[in-house]
Amino acid sequence: MSALEKSMHLGRLPSRPPVPGSGGSQSGAKMRMGPGRKRDFSPVSWSQYFESMEDVEVENETGKDTFRVYKSGSEGPVLLLLHGGGHSALSWAVFTAAIISRVQCRIVALDLRGHGETKVKNSEDLSAETMAKDVGNVVEAMYGDLPPPIMLIGHSMGGAIAVHTASSNLVPSLLGLCMIDVVEGTAMDALNSMQNFLRGRPKTFKSLENAIEWSVKSGQIRNLESARVSMVGQVKQCEGITSPEGSKSIVEGIIEEEEEDEEGSESVNKRKKEDDMEGLPLETQNLLLFLQTKKDHPYTWRIELAKTEKYWDGWFRGLSNLFLSCPIPKLLLLAGVDRLDKDLTIGQMQGKFQMQVLPQCGHAVHEDAPDKVAEAVATFLIRHRFAEPIGGFQCVFPGC
């Protein structure tokens, strides 16, 4: 089993998220609650972490595409943040608050095509080439011919797109590159089990609160504060009824609290409904089940990642060499040193990039430990004199 596959299984273990609203500085703290006290899984607005939101229009052959960006800061280099597959720009919310308090910089967090609130003519084209061009087009639309110094930072799929963007010279003012927990070797090894991983997720949720609770208890996001803002960008309200097919496979998107004792009554009601449908044609039963599911579970994923499989190989194959060939300062942040493949191990030994391992994190490193990631990025920026520290931030230079 590859390291990334291990992280998928380990990432589904229950986690100990921080106290919501406690700020980034408490992102790694354990949750301490009194008897019977429940955690707050209510969603939080993007405006608590970003200063503004903008829809950037990009002209292309088929018309106009609109890309959602969230921004903070007014001076310093631009940190252009690219999220992972299935996530959105909101996954960078807590990190944004943490980095802005450490160094003078500007944040632009982008919803990639097919994700979040971005609207494009062809949302199914998620090829590395197309998404890299999107990044370049958004930069041009925002800043024209004289863009400010920009550092690309990407997580997982977003890290791969950042590398493809950099290697294709699509951002002329690029000064640095950061990949977060994405390595070609382990990513390619994990692709074979990715469909099984996706099938193991719930397909619908009763509410945003249920989606947030599932994300934390499953370990997809181990930081409750981040989950409360991030999951809003991952799920949406179900659209109009299209087909009853597969309705019986829909599972509950919630892991019930141990102290809740509602399962008994729910199972009785479920059996009663099944008894009432006995004798009806199978097609009618499926339709009724589908209608009930739509009523009881009105939220679903914004993007069906399983349908993007044909692009996975293109995101990650050759990624290590592309990363190493980019002639700019580079940073690689990993949740575990076992994720390094051969090419990156050799490159790291040759000093071709800076690497830092952030243990005790799941795959969503920047959400699980936003302060540690912000500290690593801030130190990188200051070390290369790309940005000035603020608020008395002191660099702690890693050993690797």
Q: Which residues are catalytic?
A: 156, 181, 363
In angstroms, the CA 140 to CA 147 distance is 7
Contact 225, 21 (CB under 8 A): yes
Q: Residue 83: exposed, middle, or buried by beta-carbon count in 10 A (0-12, 13-18, 19+)?
A: buried
> Quick check: 324 and 350 in contact, CB under 8 A?
no
Q: What does DSSP say about strands 78-82 and 204-205: parallel, antiparallel, or unpaired?
A: unpaired
Q: Which tokens is 291 given?
A: 């209608």
Task: Report the distance separating Cα 14 and Cα 9, nearest Å.
Answer: 11
d(CA 43, CA 315): 31
| Structure token digits, residue 142 | 């925002």
E strands present in 136-271: 150-155, 174-180, 204-205, 235-237
Within 8 A by CB and 6+ apart from 199, the residues are: 306
Q: Which two tokens stand for residue 28?
A: 């790694």
* 295-316: b (≥16 Cβ within 10 Å) or e: eebbbbbbbebeebeebbebbb
- Tell me the residue ranges of DSSP E strands in the chain: 52-60, 63-72, 78-82, 106-110, 150-155, 174-180, 204-205, 235-237, 299-301, 330-334, 354-357
Let me know: does 180 contact 155? Beta carbons within 8 Å. Answer: yes
Strand partners of residue 276: none
Nearest to 49 by CA among 71, 33, 65, 32: 71
Is 98 in contact with 55 (CB distance < 8 Å)?
Answer: no
Q: What is the CA radius of gyration of the chain?
A: 22
